[in-house]
Amino acid sequence: MTANAASPNHLQLTRDGQLRHFLTLDGLSRALLTDILDTADSFIEVGERTIKKVPLLRGRTVVNLFFEASTRTRSTFELAAKRLSADVLNLDINTSATSKGESLSDTLLNLEAMASDMFVVRHAQSGAPHFIAESVTPGVAIINAGDGRHAHPTQAMLDMLTIRQHKGGFEGLKVAIVGDILHSRVARSQIRALNELGAEQIRVIAPGTLLPRDVESLGCTVEYDMAKGMKDVDVVIMLRLQKERMEGALLPSEREFYRLYGLSQEKLALAHPECIVMHPGPINRGVEIESAVADGPQSVILNQVTNGIAIRMAVMSMAMGGQVAERQQTLTELNERGLA
Amino acid sequence: MSGNEQSSGASLKITGGRLLDGHGSDTSNRALLIRNGRIAATGEAAEKADADQTFDAKGCVITPGFVDLYCNLREPGNGQKGNMASETRAAARGGFTTVCVSPETSPVNDSRAVTHLILDGAYASSAIRVLPVGALTRGLEGEMLSDMAGLTAAGCIALGNGSRGVRNARVLRRCMAYAQTFGLTVMLRPENQSLAADGYAHDGLVTARLGLLGIPEVAETAAVMEMLLLAEETGVRLHLSQLSCGRSVEMIADARRRGIAVTADVAMHQLAFTEDALSGFDSRFHLRPPLRSEADRKALVAGVRDGVIDAIVSQHLPHESAAKQAPLPDTEPGLSSIESVLSLGLGLVQRGELTLAELIRGLTSGPASVVGRIASIGQDDIADLCVFDPDACWTPSSQSLISAGHHAPVLGQSLAGVVRLTLVEGREAWALA
């Protein structure tokens, strides 16, 4: 017997297959992911204008609900919402005050009562946006801005946009993701996106303590030796290493980690000559990446940040469109049945 | 026991059903006559006898009442999650006539006073037999021995650690040696707490994809191995409860071949579901131990089939709805399962994974023998019976469930298997309206 399993798509897609929440890349088709990238491309131009605004979300209220601290992600979501002409409310919520589910639900229901149209949610627990979309406020479009170790779908999509800009596409690409895969929501979403978009090889490079069990089932190969893993890759994505990993007996020292898995110029030289270097930020210079590499000619780290705004505009406008269409359709159906 | 006030002299005749017990006896259309709380006659003698009432069990299966070795009734101390009346009635609806209750009440059942409180509560409001399991260590803290002999004298049928581990192997060894002195059974849920750490899901495919914190299999298997070795050394009667790993079944089978006195149980939901149940972050399936892989599930089912696993338990753990209304990692573990055990089991029978006889053994004679009781339906046996219609269907929902916990494993879908009558010592504990 299988319990009500599997696809998150009954939650995040409308009956016509449009986005109405953006919770995870699991189950989203190549066509939809490409659509997000194309839409983002069209918004890049908006960022280059003197007046950087389009009226797609005029009159809509977007609430940035950050249950976990963030500077970059929150600011790019805020800018994205403002460029779409939405009214934006930023709430940094101390997780300790809302560690009980009941108060999380109450917080959200209160915000919904203020006629919010969209919640951008970051939360320390995997599945929190999923829970909100399913059980708390299904009528508000939920955008996942990072949940626990689960997913960071807008980060992965801005990375895909950056890769497409530099490599033209995904066919035949060899991509290495290096570092703390175990705790990384970014890596999980990237692996999923790269597989769906048709990358040829995804290698994860890390010591055994920083890899989830059964990681190959996500669609990647494991390499413990960075020199082997870097060979001929077109893209290398470095992940941030949290200091706490030393205390949890996952790693002996920063120094040893850097020596084995840090991206130095020597290791980068093993990759394809046109390999690009990416990092979701914030960077620990000298822990996972050498400064000369982070600031070097192959680094596209700042392009990622710029693309973040365009991707978030794309996802927010698409999800709002789907949510409004879904509401409209439900209302029409109720009318037809004479219930409204 | 109070229950339904049917005068003890009144007699009941059950006709037309298929009689099945856990010992392999299976006869169709054999009548039962129940008088004075016992089975007064069977077969032709029962058929011919006059009775005050007759129950037509055509199309039904009649078995000994189910015995649950691990459930939580939430009384005393957790009234918001359930109480003696609601949860024992839910159990009777599930076909259970005897339930062993976990010492994890509030206060913990580590003194005669609490044991008496539970038994008094059962006397006042339970229609079924409630057998307390005493705490193995004081306060279930895993540090000091409980008054094991005193708890037993007060009515505890075994000693256990509920869902908590005994971190210190030296303490565990002494608990076993002390329990062995008095011939007591020790019921343990094997979990190495330092390996389980903050996890809440099976460390495997689903945790890899969803970024959940995993509990590795070795958190259970390392504890099973340690407990088996300590049981071998101390000679205690050990019962390993709520298994989740296929490898645990192998180790127990090996230990038995070596002559170690060990028995085991598994929760029905471990036989019916796998880690996939969490793939939509469904907090109902936040369980401890977690639902594991399909290979583990199959090995556990095989363990029941082969008899290495003696008993199937409900692991009933009701909660108020708020305890499950949060992001998955913030919810409390446990299912409100006792009303669905039979239906999930019949699902396994229907798919050919277990025979009906194996299922009934796991729910009746298997668990009964672990706690030194008898579950059979012969002449003069105590009339603890379950009469169920294997083909009739019901739909679990927050309206239809009796338990105060509405997080049943299946909701809103039709399930086959409806208990029509549950008798405890001949008295009606549940009858379908």
As for the ipTM of the complex, it is 0.90
- Residues from B contacting A (CB-CB < 8 Å) are 203-205, 207-214, 216, 272-274, 276-277, 279-285, 322-323, 325-331, 344, 347, 409-410
Residue of A nearest to B284 (CA): A3
Residue B357's H or E segment, with its range, is helix B356-363
User: Does residue A2 sit within a domain?
Assistant: no
CA distance A107 to chain B (A): 12
Q: Testing the interface with B: which of A95, A131, A222 to mutate, by most B Cβ within 10 A?
A: A131
Position B10 confidence tier, pLDDT thresholds 50, 70, 90: confident
Instruction: Say whether pLDDT at A281 is over 90.
Output: no
Q: Is residue A317's pLDDT more than 50?
A: yes
Question: Is the predicted pLDDT of residue A340 greater than 70, yes or no?
Answer: no
Does the beta-carbon distance from A101 to B325 stay under 8 Å? yes
What chain B holds in terms of domains, given with CATH numbers, is 11-62+381-431 (2.30.40.10), 65-370 (3.20.20.140)
Cβ separation B212–A105 shorter than 8 A: no
Least confident of A19-23, A30-34, A229-233, B2-6: B2-6
Q: What are the chain A neighbours of B212 within 8 Å (beta carbons)?
A: 126-127, 148-150
| pLDDT at residue B316, as a whole number | 98
A98 domain-assigned: yes
Contact A100 B326 (CB under 8 A): yes
Instruction: Examine the domain organization and report whether A179 and A147 are in the same domain.
Output: no
Give domain status of residue A3, yes or no: no
For chain B, the helix, strand and coil percentages under 3-state DSSP, each to the nearest 5: 35, 25, 40
> Which of the residue ranges A136-145, B176-185, B308-317, B422-431 would you say has the lowest mean pLDDT?
A136-145
Whether B2 shows a pLDDT value over 70: the answer reads: no
Full residue range of the structural domain in which residue A65 is found: 9-151+306-336
Per-residue pLDDT at A303 exceeds 90 = yes
Q: Do A105 and B285 touch (CB under 8 A)?
A: no
A185 and A113 in a common domain = no
pLDDT in tens, B62-84: 999 999 999 999 999 999 999 99
pLDDT tens, position by position, B271-322: 999 999 999 999 999 999 999 999 999 999 999 999 999 999 999 999 999 8
- For the cut 70, the answer to whether the pLDDT of residue B336 exceeds it is yes
Each residue's pLDDT tens digit, B207-265: 999 999 999 999 999 999 999 999 999 999 999 999 999 999 999 999 999 999 999 99
Domain membership flag for residue A1 = no
Cross-chain residue pair B326–A213, CB shorter than 8 Å: no
Mean pLDDT across A250-256: 92
Q: Is the pLDDT of residue B30 over 90?
A: no
3-state secondary structure string across B404-415: CCCCCCCCCCCE
Q: Residue B290 gets which letter from DSSP?
A: P
Note whether residue A291 is domain-resident: yes
Q: Are residues A163 and A294 in the same domain?
A: yes
Q: Are both A100 and A164 inside the same structural domain?
A: no
**CA B47 – CA B320 distance, rounded (Å):** 47
Q: Which residues of A touch B272 (CB under 8 A)?
A: 1
* Lowest-confidence segment of A69-78, B121-130, B387-396 by average pLDDT: A69-78
Q: What is the pLDDT of residue A271?
A: 98
Please state the separation of Cα B409 from the chain's center in Å: 15
- Residue A81 falls inside a structural domain: yes
Query: With an 8 Å Cβ cutoff, are B207 and A125 in contact?
Result: no
Residue type, B256: R
Q: Are residues A230 and A140 in the same domain?
A: no
Nearest CA distance, A297 vs chain B (angstrom): 34
A267 with A294, same domain? yes
Residues A296 and A157 in one domain: yes
pLDDT score at B179: 98
Residue type for A278, please? M
Q: Is the pLDDT score of B138 beyond 50? A: yes
Single pTM value for the model: 0.93
Of the candidates A189, A156, A147, A154, which has an alpha carbon nearest to the alpha carbon of residue A312?
Answer: A154
* Chain A residues touching B209 at Cβ < 8 A: 26, 188, 217-218
Clarify whether residues A60 and A138 are in a common domain.
yes
Are the Cβ atoms of A125 and B347 closer than 8 angstroms? no
- pLDDT band at B7, cuts 50/70/90? very low
If asked whether residues A118 and A21 sit together in one domain, one would say yes
Is a pLDDT exceeding 50 seen at residue B6?
A: no
How far apart are alpha carbons A250 and A84 in whole angstroms? 43
Enumerate chain A positions whose Cβ falls within 8 A of a Cβ in B. 1-6, 8, 26, 99-102, 104-105, 123, 125-128, 130-131, 134-135, 147-151, 185, 188, 212-215, 217-218
Residue B4 is predicted with a pLDDT of 44
Same domain, A242 and A284: yes
Across B280-426, the runs of DSSP E, i.e. the strands, are: 311-313, 385-394, 415-424
**Residue A122 falls inside a structural domain:** yes
* pLDDT class of A102 with cuts at 50, 70, 90: low
- Any idea what DSSP says for residue B213? P
pLDDT higher than threshold 90 for residue A5? no
Domain count, chain A: 2
Return the higher-pLDDT residue of A69 and A158: A158
Based on the fold, state whether residues A316 and A291 are members of the same structural domain. no
Flag if B273 and A1 touch (Cβ within 8 Å).
Answer: yes
Give the CA count within 13 Å in the CB-facing half-sphere of B303. Answer: 33
Task: Note the pLDDT tens digit of each residue in A13-45.
Answer: 998 899 999 999 999 999 999 999 999 999 998
What is the predicted pLDDT for the residue at A112? 86
Model pLDDT, residue A95: 54
Kindly determine whether residue B204 and residue A214, on different chains, have CB atoms separated by under 8 Å: yes
CATH of the domain at A34: 3.40.50.1370
Which two three-digit tokens encode residue A266?
């020597």
- Which pLDDT band holds residue A191 (cuts at 50, 70, 90)? very high
With cut-offs at 50, 70 and 90, classify the pLDDT of residue A137. confident
Q: Which residue has the tokens 């069977």?
A: B42
Question: What pLDDT, on the 0 to 100 scale, is given for residue B416?
Answer: 98
Q: Is the confidence at residue B59, as pLDDT, over 50?
A: yes
pLDDT computed for residue B8 by the predictor = 53
The answer on A279 and A175 residing in a single domain is: yes
- Shortest distance between the Cα of A181 and any Cα of chain B, in A, equals 10
Q: What is the pLDDT of residue A4?
A: 40
Residues A36, A207: contact at Cβ < 8 Å? Answer: no
Output A204 or A102, whichever has higher pLDDT. A204
Among A88-92, A124-128, B288-292, B381-385, the minimum mean pLDDT is found in A88-92
